[in-house]
Chain A
Amino acid sequence: MSVLLTPEVIILFIEDILLFGFNTIAFVIAYRIYKNFNLNSTSNEQYTLEKQTYLASYIIKFSLYLKIISFLFFVFTLDKLSNVIPGAMCGVGVTTASDYGIYLLIFKMLNIYLYGFWLLINNSDMKREDFPFTKIKFKYFLFIYFFFVIELILQSLYFFDINPQELVSCCGTVFNEVSTSAVGRLTQIPNIISVPLFYSLFLLLIFTALKKTVLLNGVLNFVFAIISITTLISFFGTYIYELPTHHCPFCILQSDYFYVGYLLYTLLFVGTFFGIGIAFLKYLIKIPLDYHKISIGFNTAYVVSVSFFPINYYLNNGVWL
């Protein structure tokens, strides 16, 4: 039996098809604006276009909100499907059940970032009277739309490809120390290097944010996001699970660990999103935005909450894992 008839998968598809329809409308409008938008013109066409910008912005904004919800729901679905697919014990097994899984996950995350940046441009555009960024933001949306379509295709391929009769490997083997998978290799950086790297990156982040060296801060945020996830798998995760051999980014999303993963990932996402966003916007539309405080705040919250687990463990047991 295919997983396609699982209620969660049906709902994911319904939402995405609806979003696809609306995004296509937004795409058509965006293309017209990109071609014909001219603020100085007084033609009838320009007037309708100006009206339509509101519709397109509204759709894109709403898509972002819905995408965040549906991403959480997607992760939740992966966890749920791990009961159905033999060998899978958490989302990792389900993701690797098809070759498209990992790419789908990456594209889903990437799209949330992209939509979010669009919202940042839109906000600064709306603040000005002469709408200086209208053309560029819709040009940027044409680009996002293709990523969205790719995500949709990947998702269909992924769910059609999963075979519930086939055995998959669980997180124990994917992130095993001797495993040769790319993700497994990344987590093999010894803790003695990666953990100090993680903390020193964090200090650098604060430093660059205070100095307002925007571009460097953005790049560092990007690196920080990657290092955070690898250290979460290889070091901090083991303290959350209180098991030195358990390396997994998905199991913390389960009820056994009080869904703490959702909190951690949200903090990390918001922190790095604003960090990268500032740099991205400065490069794209050349305006400085002051979101450094938010970025630093959330990154600090992430570092504090993730550091809590090892320290708590040490205080309770008197040893490190």
Chain B
Amino acid sequence: MNFKLIDFTLKSLKRRLTKKLSVIFIFSLIVFLLVSVFSISSSIKKELEISVNALPEIIVQKMSGGRQTVIPVDRAYEIATIPGVQNAYDRVWGYYYFVNDNVNFTVVGLDFDLEAYKQKYSDIINLYAEATDTIDAPFMIVGSGVYKMLEDNFYKNFYNFRTVTGEMLETKIVGSFTDVSAMETNDVILMPVNYVRELFDISENYATDIVVRIPNPEEIEIIKQKLNSMFPDSRIVSRLDIEASYQNIFDYKSGLFLALLIVAFVAFFILVYDNASGLSIEDRREIGILKAVGWQVENILQIKFIEGSLISLFSFFLGTGTALFYVYILQAPILRNLFTGASNLKPTFNLIPVINFEILILIFILTVPVYILATVIPSWKSSVIDADEVMR
């Protein structure tokens, strides 16, 4: 590649910059959209990957008629005797429909007396009162979204749950989760187990599901099979199943997004084609003069190729740079709403910076050659103009 040629191209580009601005703008906009959407989704994916590693290895749910029902607590003792299982315990959790704002809270029951939990609190929960020992009066620890929503509905420091039987359960708010975990805990309410049972009307002998902890990952599949034959009425969800479902969803989703964007690419292709083929009188004269002084068709094609590469590279980098700035420094102001639901309870999360080079290469290959291809025919058309025809 000849440096003089590049220099020449830059100069001629400078003269016609205003005409190219629209193409550069649209091109960078497309790259910008692609990079930001993929960055946000890979950030969320990373968040899921982080949380999946802390999940229990196996969850056992009892099914009845294809729907999940309460599971007898005795089964936890039975499961705990299986070799390889570290421990198995019952869990009570469910959704509480908050009528005022049309959202669902996730209410999780926890045995606050267990020593193991107490040590974990300090850095993830802001405590408002030292009340974690009292079992006499109901209390709860809420996610930051729940806290704000309750406050907006004039429930400061407490909330009146409506139990299944219709009674009110006045519950004090003793703490909230810090914002670091907003993505995971935004809609979570943590309550002592006995009050959750009261709230959902689940007796002592039953639980929502049973959690199985297995220290050795090699044994998960075998224990899963064992559980399947022990409890044919149950559904066994392993951590791997959850991971696979994430992978499927994200692949499918970004594929669908790209498929939808094909329309945009066709439009882009037409725009570039049109822009490149619309030759002004000055362009024609320039080419005419070049040919008159002895330039070959090949040389003019070379210039056009360099011009296309420069514009597409520039737009690609411009789009990528602004997208990264927009997503990770400005935290994707409008686009992030695509990924959070339509509900009123939206988490105020921080996107974890994840640079996915694979996706950047993917977008590069998708956009840059397409642009240059679109300019092939127009630049050929302009390069075969006859000198005498123009200069006459």
Interface residues of A (CB under 8 A from B): 1, 5-8, 10-11, 14-15, 18-19, 22, 25, 51, 54-55, 58-59, 62, 66, 69-70, 73, 76, 80, 83-84, 126
Contact = CB atoms under 8 A, between A and B. Distances in A.
A83 B301 CA distance: 42
Assign chain B's interface to a size class. 20 to 34
Interface in B337-387: 358-359, 361-362, 365-366, 369-370, 372-373, 376-377, 380, 383-384
Contacts of A80: 358
26 contacts: A1-B248, A5-B255, A5-B259, A6-B251, A7-B251, A7-B254, A7-B255, A7-B258, A7-B362, A10-B262, A11-B258, A11-B362, A14-B262, A14-B265, A15-B365, A15-B370, A55-B377, A62-B372, A62-B373, A66-B373, A69-B365, A69-B369, A73-B361, A76-B361, A80-B358, A84-B247
Nearest to A48: B384
A72 B383 CA distance: 32
B297 interface: yes
B244 to A, nearest CB: 10
A126 B302 CA distance: 14
Nearest to B363: A11
A66 B248 CA distance: 30
Given A1-B251, A14-B265, A59-B376, 20 more contacts: A1-B248, A1-B252, A5-B251, A5-B252, A7-B255, A7-B362, A8-B362, A10-B259, A18-B369, A18-B370, A54-B297, A54-B383, A54-B384, A55-B377, A58-B301, A58-B376, A58-B380, A69-B365, A84-B251, A126-B298
Nearest to A5: B255
B175 to A, nearest CB: 41
A83 to B, nearest CB: 8
Contacts of A84: 247, 251
B256 interface: yes
A165 B178 CA distance: 42
Interface in B28-48: none
B258 A10 contact: yes
Contacts of B369: 15, 18, 66, 69
Main secondary structure of the interface of B (DSSP, over half): helix
A83 B244 CA distance: 11
Contacts of A66: 369, 373
Given A14-B265, A54-B380, A58-B380, A5 B373 contact: no
Contacts of A69: 365, 369
Contacts of A54: 297-298, 301, 380, 383-384
B312 to A, nearest CB: 13
Contact of A11 (B366, B372, B373, B377): B366
Contact of B380 (A10, A55, A83): A55
Nearest to B269: A18
Contacts of A11: 258, 362, 365-366
Nearest to B261: A10
B388 to A, nearest CB: 13
A10 B261 CA distance: 11
Contacts of A70: 365
Interface string B32-68: 0000000000000000000000000000000000000
Contacts of A15: 365, 369-370
Contacts of B377: 25, 55
A78 to B, nearest CB: 13
B273 to A, nearest CB: 12
A14 B298 contact: no
Contacts of A55: 376-377, 380
Question: Which of the listed residues A8, A19, A69, A76 has the most CB atoms from chain B within 10 Å of its own CB?
Answer: A8
B357 to A, nearest CB: 10
B259 A51 contact: no
Contacts of A1: 248, 251-252
Nearest to A80: B358
Contacts of B361: 73, 76
A55 B376 CA distance: 8
A187 B259 CA distance: 41
Question: Which of the listed residues B359, B361, B384 has the most CB atoms from chain A within 10 Å of its own CB?
Answer: B384
Interface in B110-150: none
Contacts of B262: 10, 14
Nearest to A50: B384
